[in-house]
Structure 1
Amino acid sequence: MDIFEKCRNYTQAREAMESGSYPYFIPLDENEGTEVEYKGQRLIMCGSNNYLGLTTHPKVKEAAQQAISRYGTSCTGSRFLNGTLAMHEQLERELADFVGKEEALIFSTGMQVNLGTISALISRDDVVILDKDDHASIVDGARLGYGKIERFRHNDVEHLERVLKSLPENVGKLIVVDGVFSMGGDLADLPAIYPIAQKYGARIMVDDAHGMGVTGRGRGTAAQFGMTDQVDLIMSTFSKSFASLGGFVAGDDEVIHFVKHNARSLIFSASIPAANAAAALAALHVIREEPELADRVNQIGKRISDELRGMGFNVGNSVTPIVPVIIGDDERTFLTWKRLFENGVFVNPVVSPAVPQGMQLLRTSYMASHTDSQMDQVLDTFKKVGKEVGII
Structure 2
Amino acid sequence: MPSKPKQQFIDDDLENRKADNLFRSLQTLIPSGDGLTVTKKGRELINFCSNDYLGLSKHPEVIRKSRNYTEKYGAGSTASRLISGTFDIHEELETKLAEILKKEAALIFNSGFQANSTLIDTLTDRHSLVLADRLSHNSLLKGGLASRADLQRFNHNDLTHLEKLLVRAKGENYNRILIITETVFSMDGDRSDVKEIAALANAHNALLFVDDAHAVGVWGEKGLGLGYDVEGIDILLGTCGKAFGSFGAYVACSTKMKEYLINYCPGFIYTTALPPAVIGAIDSALDLIPYMEKQRSRYHKTIEKVRDRLQGYGFDTGPSSTQIIPVIIGDEVETLELAEWLEEQGILATAIRPPTVPENSSRIRLTISLAHTDAQIDYLLNKMKEWSNAGS
Q: TM-score, normalised by structure 2?
A: 0.93
Matched-pair contact (CA < 8 Å) for 1:287–1:293: no
Distance 1:191 1:371 in 2: 35
| Structure 1 residue matching 2:114: 3-state secondary structure | helix
Distance 1:3 1:118 in 2: 33
Q: Does 1:189 align with 2:193?
A: yes
Matched-pair contact (CA < 8 Å) for 2:201–2:232: no
Structure 1 unaligned runs (5+)?
A: none
Give 1:25 shift.
1.5
Q: Which amino acid aligns with 2:223?
A: G
Query: Partner of 1:91 in structure 2?
Result: 93
Q: Does 1:219 align with 2:220?
A: no
5 Å-filtered alignment, 1:114-263, equals 114-168=116-170, 171=174, 172-216=176-220, 217-223=222-228, 228-263=230-265
Matched-pair contact (CA < 8 Å) for 1:23–1:349: no
Give 1:13 shift.
8.8
Query: Partner of 2:81 in structure 1?
Result: 79
Query: Partner of 2:376 in structure 1?
Result: 374
Closer/same/farther in 2, CA of residues 99 and 332 from structure 1, 3 Å limit: same
Give 1:241 shift.
0.9
2:10 to 4, 7, 11: 7
CA deviations 1:328-348 (Å, max 9, x no partner) are 111111111111111111112
Q: Which moved more, 1:181-190 or 1:67-76?
A: 67-76
Matched-pair contact (CA < 8 Å) for 1:304–1:379: yes
Query: Partner of 1:286 in structure 2?
Result: 288
Q: Which amino acid aligns with 1:221?
A: L
| Structure 2 residue matching 1:327: 3-state secondary structure | strand
Give 1:24 shift.
4.2
Distance 1:344 1:112 in 2: 34
CA RMSD of aligned residues (A): 1.9
| Structure 1 residue matching 2:243: 3-state secondary structure | coil
| Structure 2 residue matching 1:222: 3-state secondary structure | coil
| Structure 1 residue matching 2:208: 3-state secondary structure | strand
Give 1:309 shift.
0.6
Matched-pair contact (CA < 8 Å) for 1:235–1:249: yes
| Structure 2 residue matching 1:313: 3-state secondary structure | coil
Q: Which amino acid aligns with 2:218?
A: V
Q: Which amino acid aligns with 1:75?
A: S
| Structure 2 residue matching 1:10: 3-state secondary structure | helix
Closer/same/farther in 2, CA of residues 117 and 299 from structure 1, 3 Å limit: same
Structure 2 unaligned runs (5+)?
A: none
Q: Does 1:354 align with 2:356?
A: yes
Query: Partner of 1:273 in structure 2?
Result: 275
CA deviations 1:217-247 (Å, max 9, x no partner) are 3110123xxx522322210111111111111
Matched-pair contact (CA < 8 Å) for 1:209–1:240: yes
5 Å-filtered alignment, 1:40-51, equals 40-51=42-53
Distance 1:296 1:24 in 2: 36
Identity score, percent: 33
Query: Partner of 1:25 in structure 2?
Result: 26
Give 1:12 shift.
4.4
| Structure 2 residue matching 1:26: 3-state secondary structure | coil
| Structure 2 residue matching 1:80: 3-state secondary structure | helix
Distance 1:66 1:283 in 2: 14
Distance 2:186 2:298 in 1: 19
Distance 2:296 2:100 in 1: 15
Q: TM-score, normalised by structure 1?
A: 0.93
Matched-pair contact (CA < 8 Å) for 1:152–1:159: yes
Distance 1:235 1:315 in 2: 27
| Structure 2 residue matching 1:333: 3-state secondary structure | helix
Distance 2:314 2:101 in 1: 38
CA deviations 1:15-74 (Å, max 9, x no partner) are 59xx9x976421012343211111221111110000000000000001111111111211
Distance 1:14 1:359 in 2: 16
Matched-pair contact (CA < 8 Å) for 2:325–2:367: yes
Q: Which amino acid aligns with 2:28?
A: P
Matched-pair contact (CA < 8 Å) for 1:23–1:334: no
Give 1:14 shift.
8.8
Closer/same/farther in 2, CA of residues 60 and 12 from structure 1, 3 Å limit: farther
Query: Partner of 2:37 in structure 1?
Result: 35
Moved over 3 A (4+): 10-16, 21-24
Q: Which moved more, 1:94-103 or 1:160-169?
A: 160-169
Distance 2:59 2:111 in 1: 21
Distance 1:367 1:320 in 2: 11
Matched-pair contact (CA < 8 Å) for 1:206–1:233: yes
Distance 2:50 2:16 in 1: 22
